[in-house]
Homo-oligomer: A and B are copies of this chain.
C-alpha cells in the first residue's frame, strides 16, 4: 500500500496530516459570531441551527474558498461571508440527510443529530433556515462588484438544486446508484458540486474570468471525487469513535460504494490516482497553490 493512503491502521501512529489551520480558525471564529436572527421568538430555531453549524469539523468547503482567495494574492478574510455561506449550506444538507425518513442517523460528529435534540419539525426548519440565511449572508455581507456577486450566487444556486446537491441526495435515497457511472454521478451531484462551488466562488470573487474559473473547477471536481473515494474507504476501515459516526454502515446497508464496486485495494489505488490528478490540475492555476495542495493531501490522508 502506498504511503499516505487512507488506512485505519495508521490511526494509532502520529497525528493528522497538515491542514491550513489559519484559514480554519478564521472560518470558525466567523461562524461563532454570525448573527442568524436575533428575535427572541425564534431563539430555539436559531439554537438548533447553531447546534449543527458549530459541531466542529474541518470546514473543508469554506477553507477551500479562502485558500483560493489567498492563492490569488488577496486577503482571505474578504471572502468570509461567502465561505461561511457554503458551510451553512453543507450543514443544512446534513440536517436534512440525517432525518428519520432519509438516512435516519442519530449521531453526527459524535453528537446527537439535530432532530434527536430539537425534534424533527424544528430540524426541518433549521435546515430550511440555514439555506435561506446562506443566500442572505452572501447578499447582505459579501463585498464585491454586482456582476461578481451575481456570478457567485448563481454558482451556489446551481450547485444546490436538482442539477446538484438535492438531485444527488434524491439519487441516494432512491437507491439509483447501481453501477459505477451512476455512483459517480450521484456523488458528483450530492457532494461534488458544492465542493466545486467552494473553489470556484473564491476565484470569481477575486476576478477570475470564465476560462480561469473552468480550470479551478477541474481541480475541484477531482478533489470531490477524491473526497468521496476516501469517505467510502473510511466507512469500511475507520473507527466509529474517530469518525464520529457508525463505521461499516455502508456495508450493512449494502450501499454501492467505491469499496463495494472495486474492493479496498483498487479503491485505495483510485484515491491515489485521483489525488495525483488533483495535484496535476493545480499546475494550470495562477499564484501560490501550496495550501490547495495541502488540502488535497489532507483529503487523501484524513482519518475521519
**Does A74 belong to the interface (CB within 8 Å)?**
no
**B-chain residues with CB within 8 Å of residue A122 when the two chains form the complex:** 170, 173-174
Interface membership of A149, Cβ < 8 A: yes
Q: Is A212 engaged at the interface, CB distance under 8 Å to the other chain?
A: no
Expressed in whole angstroms, the Cα–Cα distance for A131 and B136 within the complex equals 14
Beta-carbon contact of B129 and A101 below 8 Å: no
**Does A166 count as interface, using CB distance less than 8 angstroms?**
yes
Contact across chains for B124 and A170 when beta carbons are under 8 A apart: no
| A170 adjacent to B135 (CB under 8 Å) | no
Question: Whole-angstrom distance from the CB of A121 to the nearest CB of chain B?
Answer: 5
Q: B46, B135, B173: which contacts A135 (Cβ < 8 A)?
A: B135
Bound-state Cα–Cα, A139 to B150, Å: 7
Q: Which residue of B lies closest to A162 (CB)?
A: B37
Distance of A166 Cα from B42 Cα, bound (Å) = 9
How long is the Cα–Cα vector from A303 to B121 in the complex, in angstroms?
30
Mostly helix, strand, loop or mixed at chain A's interface?
helix
B contact residues around A288 at 8 Å (CB)? none
Q: Are A162 and B46 in contact (CB under 8 A)?
A: yes
> In whole angstroms, what is the CA distance A139 to B155 when docked?
9
Q: Whole-angstrom distance between the alpha carbons of A81 and B132 in the complex?
A: 19
Copies in the complex: 2
Contact between chains at B132 and A41 (CB < 8 Å)? no
Within A160-184, the residues touching B (CB, 8 Å) are 160-167, 169-171, 173-174, 176, 182
Chain B residue at minimal CB-CB distance from A123: B101
Q: CA of A105 to CA of B268 in the docked complex: distance in angstroms? A: 48
A residues 105-162 near B (Cβ < 8 Å) are 119-122, 124-125, 127-129, 131-133, 135-136, 139-140, 146-147, 149-150, 153-154, 156-158, 160-162
Q: Report yes or no: B96 in contact with A173, Cβ–Cβ below 8 A.
A: no
B173 near A161: Cβ-Cβ < 8 Å: no
Indicate if the CB atoms of A169 and B125 lie closer than 8 Å: yes
**B residues less than 8 Å from A174 (CB atoms):** 44-45, 122
Q: Report 16 cross-chain contacts, Cβ distance below 8 Å, ordered by A residue.
A: A41-B176, A101-B120, A102-B124, A125-B170, A128-B169, A129-B167, A129-B170, A132-B160, A132-B164, A132-B165, A133-B161, A135-B153, A136-B157, A136-B158, A136-B161, A146-B146
